[in-house]
Structure 1
Amino acid sequence: MELEHTEFKIVGTDYKAEEKSVQKQRLVEKLRGKPILSILILILIIGGCLFAEKFYNHDPSDFYLQNLNEAPNTEFYFGTDSLGRDIYSMIWYGGRASILIGLLSMCIITVIGVTYGCISGMCNEKVDAVMMRFAELLNSIPSLLLVLLLVAITGEQNIVKISIVIGITSWFGLARIVRSEVRQIRSSDYVLAARCMGGNFFHVMGKHLIPNFLSTIMFVVVSSISTSMSMESTLSFLGLGLPVDVVSWGSMLSLANKALLLNTWWVIVIPGVFLIVTLICITNVANYFRKEVNRKPSHL
């Protein structure tokens, strides 16, 4: 009869300390590679924007004409702009609009890109080829030109309008990824069974297709938030985004030309820092999703 080999661990009087050390090491390994700092910074920024009323000390829509272009001081923490508005209060209040535009645009990009990609992936070769050539044709046009064209057509912008414009000009890349994933799984047994049992397209898409490529598209979905926010800022800088009276980080940067002439660096630097830090944090989170997706095949 063969004896089973059992590993024994000799413990001493300090075995509890060793056990805590092992648990701490496991926790460190579990958290390693995760964008903890980026998530914490995003929570702080988003929390500050959501509860802006608790943070700002001046009305962000008021014009303090006796305090034009004041440098940061004890009364105006981040200074004032050429219209006499308090930049500190505008940062928290305006972040709402910028983040909301990013989220709305992301939702539009996701809905159009996923639906279009699923339809193309489930269709026959000819229809699929036509749909993909159409998407590639639109994708070959610089997105900024498409956005400028639609902005000129739609007229004066607001948060909803500019979100729709950015959303309907930025879904092409996501559609191609979704189409590629659907082409790989559309012949799977569970998809064929669902179709044979009378499941319509949206049932198959929601129950069987999307759950299988959701992790794959998370990088594109999350990164589209930062892309949309930067596009809004670009349009505002060009004078084609939100009106100056609608406070957002982009509309604050639209006064950059006057700030350069007046040498009021805080009008450009402070909103720019908040915007860049937010975009970097969102990109780090998106990169984490991409690494997780690339890591999965190695565990199979």
Structure 2
Amino acid sequence: MYKKYSIYRRKNKFPIVSAVLLALIILGCIFANVITSRSPEYMDLANYTKAPCREFWFGTDTMGRDMFSCIWYGGRVSIAIGILSTVISTIAAVIYGSVSAVAGETIDTCMMRFAEIILSIPTLLLIVFLQAIMGKASVISISVVIGLTSWCAIAKIVRTEVKRLRESDYVTAAKSMGGGFFHILIRHLAPNFMASIMFMVVMNVRSAIVAESTLSFMGIGLPIDVISWGSMLSLAQNAIMTGAWWIILVPGIFLVTFLMCITNIGHWMQMKLGNTQRVL
């Protein structure tokens, strides 16, 4: 009994290494102007495609930009897109799922069928379609597009949780005191179902960064002058042709490390939530 409990505890151990690496990357991006001495936009044509050395720690790209500066400043953009798009998708999911839960059976069914239709469409295809409608890509437009295509799965969970909670005593008391829909949602419902969707919210940050990187790699994401980890990887074709391995490897390592750290923390949160639900 004790042995099984110990094994279970070890499996649910907080991923300290992932949290430390994630914190270091985020802090490095926040204080990029402190830890870097070169502008990421400066093109040193005399030192283009230069391998990592004492002067350029991560080397330079095909346009002579310092990769060390680009990594930290580009991380700001990638992380900002991940967070902004997740905020948009979470707000949309909470409102949509809550409205569906409290609406009549017919409206609820129609809203859920619509969400399932959106889920059946490949997300990348939907993102490309919406981005083409919005025109030239920017940090805001890509964040909005990704946010508007990644809310359906969370909305289904919110709907289930709100249906479970709407008959609770505190919700009934709030209704009898004249509480409106959004008042009850924000003050009473959201605090009780937020833990159930937190895992998916965290994973949406990862998915948004992957989507932005994929779009930039395909050449339909952020313009080359807007530096992000994805736009840095868009130079991969030229890097392969010139043998400049560091142009792919350096941003690839930072991107993969960041995504793996988020994934590990997200899985820990999922297991922690499952343990809490079993206790309750």
Measured against the shorter chain, the TM-score band is: over 0.9
Equivalent residue number for residue 124 of structure 1: 104
Residue identity in the other structure for 1:166? I
Give yes or no for the alignment of 1:299 onto 2:248. Answer: no
Question: What displacement does 1:234 show?
Answer: 0.3
Counterpart position of 1:195: 175
Match of residue 116 from structure 2: 136
Q: 1:56 aligns with which of 36, 39, 61?
A: 36
Match 1:67 to one of 43, 47, 61: 47
Following the alignment from structure 1 to structure 2, what is the Cα–Cα distance between the partners of residues 255 and 30? 42
1:287 maps to which of 244, 248, 267: 267
Larger Rg: 1
2:61 paired residue number? 81
Separation of aligned partners in 2, 1:165 and 1:97:
16
The Cα shift of 1:298 comes to 2.5
How far does the alpha carbon of each residue in 1:61-117 deviate from its partner, in whole angstroms, 9 at most, with x for none?
Answer: 010101111111111111111111110110011110000000101100110001101
SS at match of 1:241: coil
Structure 2: how far apart are the matches of 1:196 and 1:255? 61
Q: Distance in 1 between matches of 2:10 and 2:237?
A: 47
Aligned match of 1:16 = none
Q: Give, in whole Å, the separation in 2 of the partners of 1:78 and 1:205.
A: 49
Residue 115 of structure 1 corresponds to which residue in structure 2?
95
Corresponding residue for 1:236?
216
| C-alpha displacement of 1:32 | 6.4
Contact 2:12/2:272 (8 A) holds in 1: no
User: Which residue identity does 1:250 align to in structure 2?
Assistant: G
**Structure 1 CA distance for aligned equivalents of residues 249 and 10 of structure 2:** 37
Aligned with 1:57: secondary structure? coil
Verify: 1:173 aligned to 2:153, yes or no: yes
Q: Aligned partners of 2:80 and 2:253: how far apart in 1?
A: 18
Question: Runs in 1 of length 4+ with deviation above 3 angstroms?
Answer: 29-32
Number of aligned pairs?
272
One-letter code aligned to 2:58: F
The residue matched to 2:108 in structure 1 has which SS?
helix
C-alpha distance in structure 2 between counterparts of 1:131 and 1:193, whole Å: 28
* Mapped partners of 2:223, 2:139: distance in 1: 10
Could you tell me how far 1:30 is from its partner in structure 2? 10
Instruction: Show the counterpart of 1:257.
Output: 237
RMSD, aligned CA: 1.4
Specify the code of the residue in structure 1 equivalent to 2:89. I
Other-structure match for 2:166: 186
Deviations 1:1-53 (A, max 9, x none): xxxxxxxxxxxxxxxxxxxxxxxxxxxx7996112111111111011111101
**Letter paired with 1:173:** A
Unaligned residue ranges in structure 2 (runs of 5+): 1-8
The residue identity in structure 2 corresponding to 1:163 is: S
Distance in 2 (alpha carbons) for counterparts of 1:208 and 1:57: 49
Unaligned 5+ segments in structure 1 are: 1-28
1: distance between equivalents of 2:99 and 2:190? 12
- Compute the TM-score of the two structures, normalised by the length of structure 2: 0.94
Q: Aligned letter for 2:217?
A: F
CA distance 1:165–1:57, shift in 2 (3 Å) = same
SS in 2 for 1:242: coil
**What TM-score, normalized by structure 1, do the two folds share?**
0.88
d(CA) in 2 for partners of 1:117, 1:102: 22
Distance 1:297 1:151 in 2: 40
State how far apart, in whole Å, the 2-side matches of 1:138 and 1:58 are.
44
In the other structure, the counterpart of 1:217 is 197
Equivalent pairs: percent with the same residue?
A: 49
